[in-house]
Chain A
Amino acid sequence: MKSIRRIYALLIATIIASILYLYNGVSTTHTKLIENLEKIFVLQAGQFAENIEEELKHHIDMNEDLYSYLKRRPTLRKELEHTLSALVTPSFKYVYVLYRDKRGKYRYLLDGSKEDKGLFDQKLDVDKEKWNRCYDTGRDQVLTQKDLEGLWITYLKPILYEGRVHGVIAIDFSTGLPATIAKATRPLENIFLYIFVAIGILLLILLYQTILNIRTKKESIIDPLTSTYNRNFLRDFLKSINPARYQIMMVDIDHFKKINDNFGHKAGDLILREVAEAIKKELREKDRVIRFGGEEFLIFLYREKQECSAAKIISNRLKESIEKRVFTYENMPIHITVSIGIASHPEHFKSVPDAIKHADEMLYIAKREGRNKIVFDKNQSSARVDEKRTIGEVKEALEDGRIVCHYQPIIDLTSGKTVKYEALVRMVDKEGQIVSPYFFLESIAYTNIYTDLTKQVLQIVFQQIKTNRIPISINLNLSDILDNMIYMIILDEIKENLELAEWLIIELLENEHHATIDILKERLLELKSYGVKIAIDDFGSGFSNFSIFQDLPIDILKIDGSLIKDVDNSKIAYSITESITLFAKKLEIETVAEFIHSEEILRIVKSLGIENGQGFHLGKPAETISLDKTPIKQASEISA
């Protein structure tokens, strides 16, 4: 593109230079033509003057003083003036002879001019310096003078006799040549004038177009609502940036939909504008902010060095400033917060879009963990970042049958027997390494691959149930039940394994509020109608809500590991666990304590009356289910 521009510039410069060269050629020719033609006239004047000199010398005795000789002979003067007048033409207007008196003044001897005629001995004021040069050197002189009528040339010829100048023959002429030639060459010069005007107009149009293009380009890369850059800008920006020079921040306005729903779209627009302003206020000159989605802003923070705290400082400042600020729409205060995900080392990714995706994933985590949060990946080593698996890798694993389940036993705390298992999904990579779901679930969330994965896990679990005839639980999100596609797959798999469905337990993770509780209830009841049991997972943390038991048909309550692991040294954890257990007993809901990692925890949990337990202390997840193996903890041991 640059080389094409250079060729254009070179072409234009060549055309202009050629035209200037031609114009200069015409002007020079014009000037030379005038000079040459005037030389001809001067030559002619010189010949006239020579003839006059000869004529004078023929009639005058040059041994005598010229002035005295002619003064005495008025008739001769008249005759000679008549002769001179024969040379007078519209071009050769004045033909006359002067002499220099003793005081250095020039006076007429003869004047053949038909108008403006001088009398004998009358003074004529002339350019003495130049006339004296003719008189003193005895050489012909050509003088030029300009007046109202144009350019005049005076040809001076000294009348020489025996080495002395007796007088000067003067011929004033005006050729009118410049005007005549100018008239002749004017059309040609006009052509150049028109070309210059045309080029000037073209350049002006070009300039206007360039300004217009710049303006249009600027408009095309600026989001009109927030005055930040848009995705068009991002596309070009990504082509030119060095990822080692930036940190990437993804900012999202929390619960933005609610603002639109409660206050209207105008309020939403106002919030977007003001948040964009707040972001810009925190940024530096070299930073770039892009409106990435509806209420999502992508920020590139410039850094000089590889290790840089800019993202940390700016994200904290931005989060706090927005949190503290009260936005006002039609006198109504609006409080908002933002969630921020950060990719602090984009250079560790295969491409900048991958780094952006990572920042987006961090944002997703921030959202999932309750919003108004910054998830900063600074502690993640590049190696760990590399462990994250792409959709393609997961898809390939599904196709190759490298999706497996590990099974963690759930023990009846009274008998000490394994009463069921929790299936935990794993991916086996091409090198045979086991990959935890942390490294691949996020990348496939909300994709068809996730749906396929769910189906495959169900098939694996039903196969295990069929083989071992023992209850196995799988983990799903509440949103999975609400997802029509996933729900249909679950139903299909259950219908295909109708006689095994009573051994299937679905553990639901409540990680967000759902307005569609009725649909959820309806679907869970349908699942239960096939004998499937429903467990609520990780209860006691995050979005746990007791009202869920009122709305949903829950069979099992799994107390969150974060409570159980502290139950031996935290009164609060103990009290909450105790309350949850009592509450479950009242509702006749089975309880499971997760994360039992020590004997002491096991003892407390049992004393609280929790029925079942799981954790590393009771049994680690294993690739297979071995019912013939001795229970990890004997009932007697547990009782003890």
Chain B
Amino acid sequence: MKKLLFILVTALVLSASALEKERRIYRTILTAIFPDKQIIHVWLDNPKKREIFEKIDRVKVVKNHKDADILILYKSFDIPTDDKIVFADGYLVFEHYKNKLVGGFYWQKGRPNLVFIKKNLKSHDIKLPESLREYIEDGM
């Protein structure tokens, strides 16, 4: 019983720590993409991630992707993206939408990975702050 409690508490602390880390990264990403926007409307295809976004300042999670300023895709491969800003939340989606999305965030080998695609940033006229420029990839 004691051991189970210990594992549960450790898992909760560590998962809280991973969620918080991810929230900080997304806060930086969204602030960088929409530096002047009062409210950033976000649409997600992964309901489990709502918790992360709902607690970010200036962010509002919307139900309809058409109302969104940015689509954050984790598992959808057939969403009509139109001219929306798209951001990947997993490596597979990142690969699939490589030509459309402005960037992606995913975990690989236990490490958080962040990538911005230069040409797509340019097409949306997004200028990233200095701190994020090292994550911009040219040749994708």
Contact = CB atoms under 8 A, between A and B. Distances in A.
| Chief secondary structure at chain B's binding surface | mixed
B15 A113 contact: no
A333 B72 CA distance: 95
A172 interface: yes
B111 A126 contact: yes
B106 to A, nearest CB: 10
A4 interface: no
A22 to B, nearest CB: 21
B11 A124 contact: no
A116 interface: yes
Given A147-B14, A148-B11, A148-B15, A124 B110 contact: no
Nearest to A146: B14
A126 B109 CA distance: 10
B129 interface: no
Interface in B39-55: none
Contacts of A186: 3
Given A103-B134, A105-B134, A148-B18, A113 B109 contact: yes
What class of interface size applies to chain A in its complex with B?
20 to 34
A116 B108 CA distance: 6
Contacts of B137: 123
B15 A123 contact: no
B-side interface size class: 10 to 19
Contact of B113 (A96, A104, A125): A125
B111 A125 contact: yes
Interface string A167-195: 00000100000000000001000000000
Interface string A130-159: 000000000000000111110010000000
Contacts of A631: none
Interface string A68-110: 0000000000000000000000000010100000011100000
30 contacts: A94-B109, A96-B109, A103-B134, A104-B134, A105-B134, A116-B108, A116-B109, A118-B108, A118-B109, A123-B113, A123-B115, A124-B108, A124-B109, A124-B113, A125-B112, A125-B113, A125-B114, A125-B135, A146-B14, A147-B14, A147-B110, A148-B11, A148-B14, A148-B15, A148-B18, A149-B110, A152-B110, A172-B109, A172-B110, A186-B3
Interface of B: 3, 11, 14-15, 18, 108-115, 134-135, 137
Given A113-B109, A125-B113, A172-B110, 7 more contacts: A96-B109, A123-B115, A123-B137, A125-B111, A148-B11, A149-B110, A172-B109
Interface of A: 94, 96, 103-105, 113, 116, 118, 123-126, 145-149, 152, 172, 186
